[in-house]
A and B are shown apart, each in its own frame.
Chain A
């Protein structure tokens, strides 16, 4: 391979090495031992990001191939008119599964998986802060995903399209379980994605190389940070949507049934509030990858770093203003459509900024036409074309013409394949040398690129015309003489060219990919970022201090010094697995995070979580509940070993820096995770309140409907008082737990138990207040909306109950005191959230109908 010379970037002064040589005997061996992967059957309990990340990527790629095979079957069916290769029923399942699997089981998991592998390496962290959470997310996805995909072999796959619009997917028109597979079957995917997002946010903000302040953060980390925040904001909408539709199907609560005050458009709002950002959720990580690959290939720093970061953040915001552009044909007022049309065109600006930054970087360096470069160029070409047709369909009048036609199919494939698949293949070819003993073949890589690039254009370019001359999407066949025959045949040929490209890639993988522990292929591209440092299971031997965004270019001795253990934390301070937590802005060392190692708990918890959802789908309710309880039990077993407390005094990590091995409060990583989790809950609740208000707007004169009385004011007031009293007791327990006296005061568990009674009483009071009025959840959308809010609150109270009892159990076991109090803090945060949500829920359910009484 013809590799470029070292780039002539600026050379800021290297920092002093914080640790001297030689290193003490046994230091490295202890580090290796702490991070050693389990052997034999226990290997599946490994939690290192290097293992879980690779399994995750491989599984996501497996789903890419499986969903691709479904696409080939569809293309074979459409190659000729009036074909009877597959019937309409199977075809419906094929296109639904193709879209669902590509979006939920391939695209989001693939970019999350890549980041599980790459982020810690790129930030020189030993691992992500919650490795067991990564393992849990992976196993839930792996097991649940395979079972979900297996439904296609039994005719049980969902068949309502990947966006599952009611009323088609309601129980009236889809009485079979196919739709339930979609609604419940992907529940674990949502949990998995959110678990990953929490991990990524905390990982990017808290576990970085020393000195890697925000201005030196790799663009990929920025992209993943924005990606994760978008998941936290966007995914709750689909979680709530699936919950409401499943409640309608299972219990006849009419959220989407127009005859009883519901509205199918509510589903479209909830789905697309998630669905459109979803496009950017998979696109932004891909752009992050491109922003790492282009500088390495051009051997020059990225042009316009600040502008690229701006573009990532702006895309993250603006992409939430686009969702109604999927609903242009639903008859909404033109003024409303125009807001989304405006945002849809505005979002092209940040995308354009990134494209120009990459072009400028290529122009300012000397780009070598390696396989990753070819895929990046292919990405620029294909994605830009998809972006241009995107601006076309952002215009409502044009969209009305092209809606639900093959033009839209062409557009979305140009955007998604160009914007995500090509960068992912570029990433495979670029980063495989980090994970493998050998790089992939450049010769085969060019074949892969050529076949895929031609294949994509041969498949999808004609589809623009097929759509414009009238072929609707999602038809299993078409009559002769419509003028669609030749175009469809060409598209089918193109699809098989893409498949041939993917097949060559698999051959390349089989021939060249050899998993590497410590002897990877090395920095074959002469890249400047930290993932190319020598590493092993423990990541880098010592945690480097960096002075620029391309430290390997600007600190020539860095790889050797890091490997020799001359930087921070070259061993293990506690004897176990550790990460160095740094401050979120300046990346100065804060404390040593004790990381849990391998264990069966996350694997079993994931299996039971997947089983819970899957068994619920086939209506094995009791068995499902048992699995749910077991899943919670496994999580508790897993948590029991966490929150270890200060197992030793503060430790020296080098350079005279001494950091504690345990902290509590807002500096603690799990505090951050709880805050992010609360944002997720808050978004679910916000979407539910939006649904309540939306349904009110559908029924402005019937809120509540005639004959329904509101509970007397006394009831919500009593409920609110109980909530507040429970919060006060928890605050009191928190105060008692302060200070340095580690004797656990007896009043703490008593206060928690009393608070549990109060919070349970609060939600029970509200439920009783509604029930005694005779309000039914199935008669009208009003009752359904009210009981949905009450039910969600009961779910949170039950969770509080579990957390409260768990906290008491830790106190009883001597695992909770004024110093070792992270568990209590987490419970307290959750408690505050539950109380806050309860109060807002009461205000809406009881206050809003009274407020609008005159309307």
Chain B
């Protein structure tokens, strides 16, 4: 598989990869901080668990939004001569990016509602 193709696959899946990283980081951080009895630790003036979740969610959202934007721009730029597989992957990337934005926000929502380690 050429580098270009590898990049295409990565971009097509970028939204869901961002979700996967977000999920791993927020669950890992929550488990670690709670497991070490650091429920009351703070970061940037707020609870460390909530802060990690919010920062990670924001970063993942940005990554997915960038992938979506890239896919949409590429789709617009594509000429009628573009290979069908290229066109398909760009469209799939846009759809995946859009769905991922919702999934990422949904995943980060508990930070605004629940206490850290109760």
Contact = CB atoms under 8 A, between A and B. Distances in A.
B103 A700 contact: no
Contacts of B87: 215
Interface stretch (A31-39, A337-345, A653-661, A803-811): A337-345
B12 to A, nearest CB: 8
Nearest to A339: B27
B44 interface: no
B85 A342 contact: no
A586 B5 CA distance: 11
A321 interface: yes
Nearest to A586: B85
Nearest to A320: B20
Interface in B75-118: 83-89, 91-92, 95-96, 99, 102-103, 106-107, 109-111, 113-118
B19 interface: yes
A415 B103 CA distance: 23
Interface in A513-537: none
A384 to B, nearest CB: 20
A770 B89 CA distance: 50
A334 B113 CA distance: 11
Given A306-B92, A334-B115, A335-B30, A214 B23 contact: no
B31 A213 contact: no
Contact of A306 (B85, B86, B91): B91
Contacts of A707: none
B54 interface: no
A851 interface: no
Given A339-B107, A342-B106, A584 B5 contact: yes
Contacts of A335: 30, 34, 49, 110-111, 114-118
Interface string A309-336: 1100110011011000000000001111
B32 interface: yes
A333 B117 contact: yes
A349 B49 CA distance: 28
Contacts of A584: 1, 5
B16 interface: yes
Contact of A336 (B8, B30, B107): B30
Interface residues of B, number: 42
A813 interface: no
Given A317-B16, A343-B23, A333 B30 contact: yes
B52 to A, nearest CB: 11
B13 interface: yes
Q: Which of B26, B95, B109 has the most CB of A within 10 A?
A: B95
Contacts of A350: 99
A306 B88 contact: yes
Given A320-B20, A346-B106, A346-B107, A700 B36 contact: yes
Q: Which of B26, B27, B116 has the most CB of A within 10 A?
A: B27
Contacts of B111: 335
A314 B13 CA distance: 9
Given A338-B114, A584-B1, A313 B35 contact: no
A623 interface: no
Contacts of B32: 697
Interface residues of A, number: 34
A790 to B, nearest CB: 24
A666 interface: yes
Nearest to A214: B85
Contacts of B23: 321, 339, 343
B92 A310 contact: yes
Nearest to A336: B30
A317 B21 CA distance: 11
Nearest to B23: A321
A21 interface: no
Q: Which of B87, B88, B89 has the most CB of A within 10 A?
A: B88
A306 B8 CA distance: 16
Contacts of B85: 213-215, 585-586
A338 B1 CA distance: 39
B36 A855 contact: yes
A343 B87 CA distance: 30
Interface in B10-42: 13, 16, 19-20, 23, 26-27, 30-32, 34-36
B46 to A, nearest CB: 14
A321 B106 CA distance: 13
A307 interface: yes
B88 A215 contact: yes
B27 A310 contact: no
A216 B84 CA distance: 9
A307 B86 CA distance: 16
A213 B23 CA distance: 32
Given A310-B99, A336-B30, A342 B117 contact: no
Interface string A840-855: 0000000000000001
Contact of A343 (B35, B89, B107, B115): B107
A584 B109 CA distance: 39
Interface in A568-592: 584-586
B110 A697 contact: no
B83 A697 contact: no
Contacts of A586: 83-85
A207 to B, nearest CB: 15
A350 B103 CA distance: 11
B55 to A, nearest CB: 15
A334 B118 contact: yes
B1 A214 contact: no
A307 B34 contact: no
B105 to A, nearest CB: 10
A313 B97 CA distance: 12
Interface in A212-258: 213-216
A336 B5 contact: no
A333 B110 contact: no
Contacts of A349: 99, 102
A215 B36 contact: no
B26 A333 contact: no
Contact of A317 (B19, B91, B114): B19
Nearest to B34: A333
Nearest to B12: A313
Contacts of B83: 213, 585-586
A535 B103 CA distance: 45
Interface in A344-379: 345-346, 349-350
Q: Which of A318, A320, A339, A697 has the most CB of B within 10 A?
A: A339
Q: Which of B8, B91, B110, B113 has the most CB of A within 10 A?
A: B110
Interface string A719-740: 0000000000000000000000
B84 A697 contact: no
B20 A342 contact: no
A333 B111 CA distance: 13
B92 A309 contact: yes
Contact of B110 (A307, A309, A342, A855): A342
Nearest to A205: B1
A78 to B, nearest CB: 38
Nearest to B98: A310
B5 A314 contact: no
A215 B117 CA distance: 46
Interface of A: 213-216, 306-307, 309-310, 313-314, 317-318, 320-321, 333-336, 338-339, 342-343, 345-346, 349-350, 584-586, 666, 697-698, 700, 855
18 contacts: A213-B84, A213-B85, A214-B88, A215-B88, A309-B92, A310-B95, A313-B13, A335-B111, A335-B115, A339-B27, A339-B30, A343-B107, A346-B102, A349-B99, A584-B1, A584-B5, A698-B35, A855-B36
Interface of B: 1, 5, 8, 13, 16, 19-20, 23, 26-27, 30-32, 34-36, 49, 83-89, 91-92, 95-96, 99, 102-103, 106-107, 109-111, 113-118
Q: 3 closest A-B pairs (Cβ-Cβ)?
A: A215-B88, A338-B110, A697-B35
Given A585-B83, A585-B86, 14 more contacts: A215-B87, A313-B96, A314-B16, A321-B19, A333-B31, A335-B111, A336-B31, A339-B30, A342-B109, A346-B107, A350-B99, A584-B5, A697-B31, A698-B35
